[in-house]
């Protein structure tokens, strides 16, 4: 008989969001500009009969909305209770217990968690400043490869060439690849993004090996809804949908997410553009004052700190600001992950950071200022 709790499970911790009441919440990468107004309108107009019924088993309306938006057949779309659900369902559909899952290190904290829950073996490769090559991931002997771009928690986006090389290596018989694009919208709006970098959807649909995962929790500002989706070849998607099971997206969440996706009000693009502009200001200001944030293509920044990240976070929370600590990040050391907020929020954060970490604007800072001035 399997001992209870099974091996490796007892040491697993519940995911612990920062729950201290704080004035400024910068620990979850949510949208500090609010939620998509078209989604809000749907929820305001809801009637009581809407909620006493079950939702559609596999969220056909949201599925159709995604299919329309991406111009793909509906059988290539899966929805989920957040994109976490799409990731988890893919792991469960593709991997037998004990299977190997390779991923660039560090990555999304839910991944190591889901690996333990599903009795899978993680193969972390590379570090925060040097992601592994596609070849290293392919040579890891993995049954599944998870890649997050832009990556959480580093903010780093992989180039189109890097991803193409990985998918070329996978071909039609290699390991299944999950491409987690939770921060896609911010990447597209970032300076330096190549407009020739069109979405990988077409490529993903060519072979039953690639799952693209997206969420409504970040750019759309709908983390509380719990809705996400995936796009894949029907042969892969059909299997993953069995693992997903029915009734995963609530009825109101489904309708609200579909409205946000249609974006009749045109809220999304200017909001994302503003977030990206604020991120650039935050990064420039940190550098000017002697900080060394990692380049980011998302709505957050990874900032190395000179003291244990957990202690710095405690000090931040004492000043009313929640950030997420990342102790001992390979290639970086102690670091915070900070969600981008509007200018007054950024100022409050910078003030607290200067107060706690006492950065010295030395050469690095001066060089950054010079580089900025040079354009
Ligand atoms: C936030 C996030 C998600 C989305 O999670 P939801 O379950 O959709 O809220 C997925 N992947 C990464 C890397 C994230 O940071």
Instruction: Give residue-wise pLDDT tens across range 260-284.
Output: 999 999 999 999 999 999 999 999 9
pLDDT per position as a tens digit, 158-175: 999 999 999 999 999 999
**Contact yes or no for 180/149 (Cβ under 8 A):** yes
Q: How confident is the model at residue 196 (pLDDT cuts 50, 70, 90)?
A: low
Q: What is the mean pLDDT of residues 57-65?
A: 96
pLDDT per position as a tens digit, 209-228: 999 999 999 999 999 999 99
Taking the mean position of all CA atoms in its chain, how far away is CA 366?
A: 32
Least Cα distance to 165 among 203, 204, 134 occurs for 134
What angle is formed at CA 304 by the lines to CA 303 and CA 308, rounded to 5 degrees?
Answer: 120
Q: Which has more pLDDT, 110 or 194? A: 110
**Contact yes or no for 28/214 (Cβ under 8 A):** no
- Which atom belonging to ligand 1 lies closest to the Cα atom of 84? 7
- Which atom belonging to ligand 1 lies closest to the Cα atom of 151? 13
Helix, strand and coil percent figures for the chain, each rounded to 5: 40, 15, 45
Q: What is the mean pLDDT of residues 120-131?
A: 97
- Residue 217 Cβ < 6 Å to ligand 1: yes
Q: Which residue has the tokens 């939620």?
A: 35
| pLDDT value of position 312 | 98
- Residue 30 Cβ < 6 Å to ligand 1: no
- What is the rounded distance in angstroms from the CA atom of residue 203 to the CA atom of residue 275? 29
The upper half-sphere exposure of residue 312, i.e. CA atoms within 13 Å in the direction of its Cβ, equals 26
Q: Which has more pLDDT, 304 or 8? A: 304
Q: How far is the CA of 217 from the centre of ligand 1 (A)?
A: 7
Q: Is the pLDDT of residue 255 over 50?
A: yes
- What is the rounded distance in angstroms from the CA atom of residue 319 to the CA atom of residue 316? 5
**Nearest Cα residue to atom 2 of ligand 1:** 182
Q: How confident is the model at residue 15 (pLDDT cuts 50, 70, 90)?
A: confident
**Nearest Cα residue to atom 3 of ligand 1:** 182
C-alpha distances out from residue 344 to 62, 202, 276, 341, Å: 36, 41, 15, 8
Give the list of residues 6+ apart from residue 285 with CB closer than 8 angstroms, or none: 346, 350
- Give the 3-state secondary structure of residue 304: strand
**Contact yes or no for 249/222 (Cβ under 8 A):** no
| pLDDT value of position 113 | 93
* Backbone φ and ψ of 43, nearest 5°: -70, -35
- Residue 178 Cβ < 6 Å to ligand 1: no
- What is the rounded distance in angstroms from the CA atom of residue 181 to the CA atom of residue 215? 8
Q: Which residue has the tokens 């469960």?
A: 92
C-alpha distances out from residue 178 to 101, 152, 211, 320, Å: 10, 14, 5, 37
Least Cα distance to 112 among 228, 8, 245 occurs for 8
Q: How far is the CA of 291 from the centre of ligand 1 (A)?
A: 27
| pLDDT value of position 2 | 78
- Do the bridges between strand 144-148 and strand 100-104 make them parallel or antiparallel, or are there none, so unpaired? parallel
Q: What is the mean pLDDT of residues 25-46?
A: 96
Q: How confident is the model at residue 243 (pLDDT cuts 50, 70, 90)?
A: very high
Q: Is the pLDDT of residue 371 over 70?
A: no
- Which atom belonging to ligand 1 lies closest to the Cα atom of 217? 9
Q: Is the pLDDT of residue 365 over 50?
A: no
- What is the rounded distance in angstroms from the CA atom of residue 107 to the CA atom of residue 103? 7
Per DSSP (E only), the strands in 265-349 are 300-304, 321-322, 324-329, 333-339
Q: For the chain, give the percent of residues with pLDDT over 90.
A: 85
Q: Is the pLDDT of residue 370 over 90?
A: no
Taking the mean position of all CA atoms in its chain, how far away is CA 266?
A: 23
Q: Is the pLDDT of residue 33 over 80?
A: yes
Give the list of residues 6+ apart from residue 317 with CB closer than 8 angstroms, or none: 18, 20, 22
| pLDDT value of position 84 | 97
- What single DSSP character describes residue 76? G
pLDDT per position as a tens digit, 131-155: 999 999 999 999 999 999 999 999 9
| pLDDT value of position 375 | 46
| pLDDT value of position 372 | 52
Q: What is the mean pLDDT of residues 6-29?
A: 85
Quote the mean pLDDT of the chain.
Answer: 93
Give the list of residues 6+ apart from residue 90 with CB closer than 8 angstroms, or none: 144, 176, 178, 211, 213, 230, 240, 243
């Amino acid at each position: 008989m399997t001992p209870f709790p099974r091996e490796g499970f007892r040491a697993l911790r519940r995911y612990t969001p920062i729950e201290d009441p704080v004035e400024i919440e910068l620990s979850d990468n949510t949208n500090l500009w609010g939620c998509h107004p078209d989604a809000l309108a749907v929820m305001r107009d809801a009637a009581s009969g809407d909620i006493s019924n079950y939702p559609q088993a596999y969220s056909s309306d949201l599925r159709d909305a995604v299919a329309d938006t991406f111009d793909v057949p509906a059988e290539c779309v899966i929805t989920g209770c957040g994109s976490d659900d799409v990731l988890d369902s893919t792991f469960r559909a593709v991997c037998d217990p004990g299977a190997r899952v390779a991923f660039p290190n560090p990555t999304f904290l839910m991944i190591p968690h889901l690996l333990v829950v599903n009795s899978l073996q993680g193969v972390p490769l590379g570090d925060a400043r040097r992601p592994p090559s596609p070849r290293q991931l392919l040579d890891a002997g993995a049954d599944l490869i998870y890649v997050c771009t832009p990556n959480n928690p580093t903010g780093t986006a992989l180039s189109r060439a890097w991803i193409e090389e990985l998918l070329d290596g996978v071909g039609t018989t290699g390991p299944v690849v999950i491409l987690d694009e939770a921060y896609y919208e911010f990447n597209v709006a970032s300076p330096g993004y190549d407009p020739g970098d069109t979405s990988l959807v077409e490529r993903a649909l060519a072979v039953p090996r690639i799952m693209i995962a997206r969420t409504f929790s970040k750019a759309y500002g709908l983390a509380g809804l719990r809705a996400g989706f995936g796009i894949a070849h029907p042969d892969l998607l059909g299997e993953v949908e069995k693992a997903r099971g029915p009734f995963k997206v609530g009825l109101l969440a489904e309708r609200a997410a579909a409205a946000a996706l249609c974006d009749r009000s045109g809220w999304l693009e200017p909001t994302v553009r503003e977030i990206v502009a604020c991120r650039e200001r935050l990064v420039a200001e940190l550098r000017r004052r002697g900080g060394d944030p990692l380049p980011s293509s998302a709505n957050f920044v990874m900032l190395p700190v000179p003291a244990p990240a957990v202690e710095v976070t405690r000090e931040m929370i004492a000043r009313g600001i929640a950030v997420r600590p990342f102790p001992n990040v390979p290639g970086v050391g102690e670091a915070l992950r900070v969600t981008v907020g509007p200018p007054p929020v950024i100022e409050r954060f910078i003030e607290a950071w200067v107060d706690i970490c006492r950065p010295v604007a030395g050469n690095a800072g001066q060089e950054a200022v010079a580089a900025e001035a040079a354009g």
